[in-house]
């Protein structure tokens, strides 16, 4: 019997103090300033297939601001996305039209989002809005069976894990949450012969393709984007790849007293929460390493040079964390089928690195589905 790695317990203890405890302390004020959704996340959720009741995992949901997107639940749906602005600052329709009537219709509410987070304070806020939430650490999603979800998102969460191994483990857990352990059943000759002629000539449905969206803070600052009015770069004061970012509590600064000679109010505390700031392609390398640790077929655009020597880099197996799975055969070996992880894109959005990933099953030798 192997002893648990003490470094994993140390990392979990560090995160408990410098991430989870901080979010519980600032939950109310944090939620008050984090109510607006990022449009690119909404576009991703809007693009998901309209399968009625499809389960979508929001790993690190916080106050649940994305849980209302296309939700079938009678919950707080949140404000509609703002219309885009033209270069002169005037609002315009999303497409080339000039009026809201020209905007493309929003997809129907067919998703069943489930929020997952360690902050009891933030989950209480999400639950009060009618959302379904579960408390737990995103480095361990084993409370659900494998492949329980159709799709998953993780927005500004994985950068809170203190070690490369735990960041890899968080990605592995997301993959396992959407990947069934075996391919879809194939109709047998007897079942196909007993079906009607109309159904037997119908095209066979393709295996389900799960989509992942992962967003993390970036180390690099893009001057062309900062010039467009982004303000987050001013708040990133770590000056390096990892560190603590101060979180001032509203009202903590000095202010006028009730009268002359009044004793100044005691300043409210400033909390520091831990972040790891990602470099370009580092997040893509995490996805590569997670797929390798699960013995899954991995592919990425040819232009992506994923360096296995960087922390959490591509190739090799990922260590566990929080009861992680480690190196393993994640799925059943099935003749003629293979499970795959396809990195579709890494891009820059609002001073974050964003990856979109496809996960699923395909017949050996078949081209990957778009």
pLDDT tens for the chain, 370 residues long, are 455 567 788 998 999 888 988 888 887 777 777 778 999 999 999 999 877 789 999 999 999 999 999 999 987 766 555 554 444 444 433 334 444 455 567 778 899 999 999 999 999 999 999 999 999 999 999 999 999 999 999 999 999 999 999 999 999 999 999 999 888 776 555 554 554 444 444 445 567 899 999 999 998 776 454 445 444 444 444 444 456 555 554 444 444 545 555 667 777 778 888 999 999 999 999 999 999 999 999 999 988 887 655 554 544 443 444 444 456 777 766 778 999 999 999 999 988 999 999 999 998 877 655 4
For residue 61, give the CATH number of its domain: 3.40.50.150
Give the predicted TM-score (pTM) of the model: 0.76
Give the ranges where 16-76 is alpha helix by DSSP (H).
Answer: 21-32, 39-47
Would you say residue 104 lies in a domain?
no
Give me the domain span that covers residue 353: 6-75+109-183+207-245+270-363
Would you say residue 222 lies in a domain?
yes
Residues 6 or more apart in contact with residue 262 via CB below 8 angstroms: none
Would you say residue 21 lies in a domain?
yes
Would you say residue 99 lies in a domain?
no
Would you say residue 128 lies in a domain?
yes
Would you say residue 149 lies in a domain?
yes
Would you say residue 253 lies in a domain?
no
Task: Tell me how far apart the alpha carbons of residues 91 and 84 are, in angstroms, rounded to a whole number.
Answer: 6
Task: Tell me how far apart the alpha carbons of residues 169 and 174 are, in angstroms, rounded to a whole number.
Answer: 9
Residues 6 or more apart in contact with residue 53 via CB below 8 angstroms: 72, 110, 111, 112
Give the up-direction half-sphere exposure of residue 334: CA atoms within 13 A in the CB hemisphere.
18
Would you say residue 256 lies in a domain?
no
**What's the total number of domains in the chain?**
1
CB neighbourhood size of 205 (10 A): 7
């Amino acid at each position: 019997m192997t002893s648990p790695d003490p470094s994993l317990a140390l990392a979990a203890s560090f995160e408990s103090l410098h991430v989870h405890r901080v979010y519980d302390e600032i939950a109310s004020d944090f939620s008050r300033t984090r109510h607006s959704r990022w449009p690119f996340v909404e576009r991703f959720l809007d693009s998901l297939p309209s399968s009625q009741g499809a389960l979508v995992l929001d790993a690190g949901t916080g106050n649940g601001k994305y849980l209302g997107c296309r939700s079938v639940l009678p919950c707080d749906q949140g404000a509609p996305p703002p219309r885009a602005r033209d270069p002169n600052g005037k609002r315009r329709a999303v497409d080339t039209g000039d009026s809201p009537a020209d905007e493309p219709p929003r997809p129907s509410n067919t998703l069943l989002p489930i929020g997952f987070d360690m902050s009891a304070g933030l989950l209480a806020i999400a639950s009060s809005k009618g959302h379904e939430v579960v408390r737990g650490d995103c480095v361990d999603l084993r409370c659900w069976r494998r492949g329980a979800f159709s799709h998953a998102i993780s927005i500004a969460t994985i950068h809170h894990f203190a070690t490369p191994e735990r960041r890899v483990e968080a990605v592995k857990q997301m993959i396992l949450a959407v990947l069934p352990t075996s391919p879809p059943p194939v109709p047998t000759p007897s079942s196909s012969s007993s079906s009607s002629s109309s159904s037997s000539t119908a095209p066979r449905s393709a295996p389900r393709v799960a989509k992942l969206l992962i967003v993390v803070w970036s180390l690099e600052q893009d001057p062309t984007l900062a010039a467009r009015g982004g303000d987050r770069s001013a708040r990133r004061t770590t000056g390096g790849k990892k560190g603590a970012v101060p979180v001032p509590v509203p009202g903590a600064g000095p202010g006028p007293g009730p009268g002359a000679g009044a004793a100044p109010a005691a300043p409210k505390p400033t909390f520091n929460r831990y972040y790891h700031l990602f470099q370009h392609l580092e997040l893509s390398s995490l996805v590569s390493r997670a797929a390798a640790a699960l013995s899954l077929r991995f592919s990425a655009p040819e232009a992506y040079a994923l360096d296995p020597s960087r922390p959490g880099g591509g190739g090799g197996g990922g260590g566990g964390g929080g009861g992680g799975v480690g190196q393993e055969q994640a799925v059943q070996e099935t003749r003629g089928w293979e499970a795959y992880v396809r990195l579709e894109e890494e891009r820059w959005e609002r001073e974050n690195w964003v990856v979109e990933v496809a996960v699923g099953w395909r017949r050996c030798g078949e081209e990957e589905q778009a």
